[in-house]
Homo-oligomer: A and B are copies of this chain.
Amino acid sequence: MDGVTALDGITRPTLVVDEARARRNIARMAAKAAATGTRFRPHVKTHQSTTIARWCREAGVDGITVSSVEMAERFAADGWTDITIAFPFNAREADALLGLVAHGVRLGLIVDSHEAVRRLAASGITADTWIEVDAGYHRTGVDADDDQTLVDLATAIGHARKLRFAGLLTHAGHTYTARSRDDVLRIHGASVAGMLRAQASLAQAGIDAPISIGDTPGCSAADRFDGVDEIRPGNFIFFDLQQLQTGACSAEDIALAVACPVVGRYAARESIVVHGGSAHLSRDAADGPDGGAVYGQLVELDRAGLGWQLAEPAARLTGMAQEHGTITGPAAVLDRYPVGSLVLVVPAHACLACASTRRFVKLDGEPIEA
């Protein structure tokens, strides 16, 4: 970015969104959900931007997923009235949740223990209450094959005056360990199979249980969602290096980069140093070609400034401090970025880059709310 482009006024690390790609990614997932008869409830934690959530609304979305009560409050303030908080119910936040209900929000909450159901029932919160199911990720949730607990919890939810049993919800976060689309589909298939077994256990007890699934790799790689009632992907709007390495997207789908000012050039080490470190991109990493950690990869704007592609040969963000990023690559690429210029870096993990950097512009330089 030597010449003057729409981004030339950037002085500090700034998120840059390719709106055309983001809207194309939204439209593609919305179309897939419609074609398969699946409810589409995108997760907004990826961008945390009310502007980008409105792009989803324009594609027909009327309910969203968030990962914290604080995030629910921000999006409720922007007019969203149907919000699932896909994070275990935290009784300490009961007052804030009551406030959301009083504000007119239809809340979805998740639980995975009797203690949580007991506290939720006692809180007086009105909520669509999902049982979180562990279908292989082993982070949270009731084991998909623990019939007794599933039935007991669904029954307890059904008996609570202000709770409605909404169904079974899972996040197959282990699709992120995949390194090909086939890997993703195998993990996704096993996870959905677990959810269908859990559903069957409840059906035997006479309890109807819709299924909600969540992960972006699985939702992106799959062409159909047999037996699934709702999908909650988040990072399908931007994608990133982690999604690319799972096979969930192509490089041409990536719709987010971080613009970073170049502040140093170290020819002997074939590196440049930029303003853009772990305080901006986070230390979440993708695999490097040599097995090392890669925090980002350089992309280059096309001449018109309307799009970007991965730099060839590759230049990668391989070192970080709080504010410093070290990009290593061949001189042929790095020589195009003198001290004082800007580089665009696709992050390893878009969600954390957005959570950390919080300054958003579009490719045309127009700021959007973050």
- Interface residues of A, Cβ cutoff 8 Å to B: 10-12, 45, 67-70, 87-93, 95-96, 112-113, 115-116, 119, 138-140, 173, 261, 263-266, 269, 273, 275, 278-279, 282-284, 319, 321-324, 326, 338-340, 342, 351-352, 355-356
Query: Are A264 and B352 in contact, with the CB atoms below 8 A?
Result: no
Q: Which of B92, B338, B339 contacts A261 (CB 8 A)?
A: B92
Determine if B265 and A340 form an interchain contact, defined as CB atoms under 8 angstroms apart. Answer: no
A265: B residues at CB distance < 8 A: 113, 115
A355 touches B324 (CB 8 A): no
A88: nearest chain-B partner, CB-CB: B263
CA distance in complex: A355, B340 (Å): 26
Q: Which residues of B are found within 8 Å of A273, using beta-carbon distances?
A: 88, 139-140
Question: What are 8 A-B pairs with beta-carbon distances under 8 A?
Answer: A67-B322, A68-B323, A87-B323, A92-B340, A92-B342, A115-B340, A119-B340, A322-B351
Residues of B contacting A319 in the complex (Cβ-Cβ under 8 angstroms): 139
Copy tally for this chain in the complex stands at 2
In the complex, what's the smallest C-beta–C-beta distance from A348 to chain B, in angstroms?
A: 10
Contact B263 A87 (CB under 8 A): yes
Q: What is the chain B residue whose CB lies nearest that of A137?
A: B321
Residues of B within 8 A of A95 (CB): 11
Is the CB–CB distance between B138 and A269 below 8 Å? yes
A264 and B322 within 8 A (CB)? no
> Which residue of the partner chain, among B88, B96, B269, B279, contacts A352 with CB atoms under 8 Å?
B279
Q: How far is it, in angstroms, between the C-alpha of A266 and the C-alpha of B90 when the chains are bound?
A: 16
Report how far A95 CA is from B11 CA in the complex, Å. 10
CB distance from A323 to the nearest CB of B (A): 5
